[in-house]
């Protein structure tokens, strides 16, 4: 977790681009702050600590209510994570397991008939083919999935990462998709889940992270979810503050909060240190904003030592 002071020109979209955070993620973590004009000197929480989804750590894992992709490279003890835009209501993204079946640089876009019809009805007709370039909604790269018609791709718009704006595909920031494309092998396993609640245990402390569930995939009962999630640890000494857990679930701000511990350990409030999000000395050696994002993504991926029993920071 990091806290920064907003500059006059900052918006949540700009900050999300810089720190690889989605728009909805920024909104949830900073209630009451104007997303388009936070104000000079306003404290902005950057929610960069995550509990890993409860699924096999193999290849790509996409958690829809979190608007986030995790990538576990084969044979490496690291995890990369990126914000996503997902399918809007009526054009929902699929659930299940598939794999990467294609990788294309500078793709053309052939709008499906359904999308062309929708645009025509809105008075915004689309061409049969959109060539590569700044107006192409696929951005600089597309990654084809085994689910027919579904892609992971970049974007021609700054807004939309961390929201439900696509026709079912997964939209990434262009620097993020550029880096993912460069390290992702063909055939990589892809698992798409809907997990609004996540549990992690670190040093005997139980953390709970809650996101707003998608309308088409309601959240489970909080007590039942926590009971089931903790069974795997087989620790009879775990103690959970269920009232606090329910409060965390109702706020669904995406921030891991300690809700319990091993009996005998003190409950401690979460402490977020105020640190510069981008060290000045690092910025001096970076030639462009895109390279800055890539360099920090590499650094974040090396932090597996901070990942214990499902928590990554």
Does residue 153 sit in helix, strand or coil?
Answer: strand
Cα 151–Cα 21–Cα 75 angle in degrees, nearest 5: 65
| Residue 169: active-site member | yes
**Residue 23 is inside which H or E element, if any?**
helix 23-29
Q: Give, in degrees to the nearest 5, the angle at Cα 111 between 109 and 116.
A: 150
- Whether the Cβ atoms of residue 239 and residue 266 lie closer than 8 Å to each other: no
Residues in the chain: 313
Quote the tokens at residue 125.
């007709």
CA dist., res. 269 & res. 288, Å (int): 38
Q: Which three-class secondary structure state does DSSP give residue 282? A: helix
Residue from 153, 167, 211, 296 carrying the catalytic annotation: 153
What are the backbone angles phi and psi of residue 205, rounded to the nearest 5°? Answer: -105, 140
Q: Are 130 and 112 in contact (CB under 8 A)?
A: no
Tokens coding 41: 């000197």
Which residues are paired to 99 by β-bridges?
A: 189
DSSP state of 164: E
CB 142 within 8 A of CB 153: yes
The verdict on whether 252 is a catalytic residue reads no
Report which secondary-structure segment, H or E, holds 120. helix 113-121
Catalytic residue among 167, 169, 211, 296: 169
Asked if residues 109 and 137 have their Cβ atoms less than 8 Å apart, the reply is yes
> To which H or E segment does residue 250 belong?
helix 242-251
Active centre residues (catalytic):
153, 169
């Amino acid at each position: 977790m990091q806290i920064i002071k907003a500059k006059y020109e900052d918006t949540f979209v700009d900050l999300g681009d810089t720190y690889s955070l989605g728009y909805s993620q920024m909104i949830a973590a900073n209630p009451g702050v104007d997303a388009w004009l936070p104000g000079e000197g306003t404290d902005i929480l950057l929610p960069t600590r995550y509990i890993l989804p409860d699924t096999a750590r193999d290849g790509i894992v996409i958690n829809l209510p979190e608007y986030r992709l995790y990538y576990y490279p084969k044979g490496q003890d690291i995890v990369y994570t990126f914000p996503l835009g997902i399918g809007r209501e009526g054009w929902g993204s699929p659930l299940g397991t598939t794999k990467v079946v294609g990788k294309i640089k500078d793709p053309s876009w052939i709008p499906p008939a359904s999308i062309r019809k929708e645009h025509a009805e809105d008075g915004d007709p689309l061409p049969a083919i959109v060539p590569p370039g700044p107006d192409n909604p696929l951005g600089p790269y597309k990654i084809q999935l085994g689910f027919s018609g579904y892609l992971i791709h970049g974007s021609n718009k700054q807004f939309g990462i961390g929201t439900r704006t696509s026709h079912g595909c997964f939209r990434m920031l262009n620097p993020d998709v550029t880096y993912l494309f460069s390290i992702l092998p063909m055939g990589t396993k892809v698992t798409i889940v809907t997990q609004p609640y996540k549990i992690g245990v670190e040093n005997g402390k139980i953390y709970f992270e809650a996101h707003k569930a998608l309308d088409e995939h309601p959240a489970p009962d909080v007590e039942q979810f926590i009971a089931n999630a903790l069974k795997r640890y087989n620790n009879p000494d775990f103690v959970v503050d269920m009232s606090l857990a329910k409060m965390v679930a109702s706020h669904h701000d995406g921030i891991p909060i300690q809700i319990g511990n091993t009996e005998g350990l003190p409950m401690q409030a979460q402490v977020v240190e105020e640190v510069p999000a981008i060290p000045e000395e690092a910025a001096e050696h970076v030639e462009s904003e895109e390279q800055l994002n890539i360099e920090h993504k590499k650094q974040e991926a090396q932090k597996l030592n901070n990942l214990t029993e499902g928590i990554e920071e």
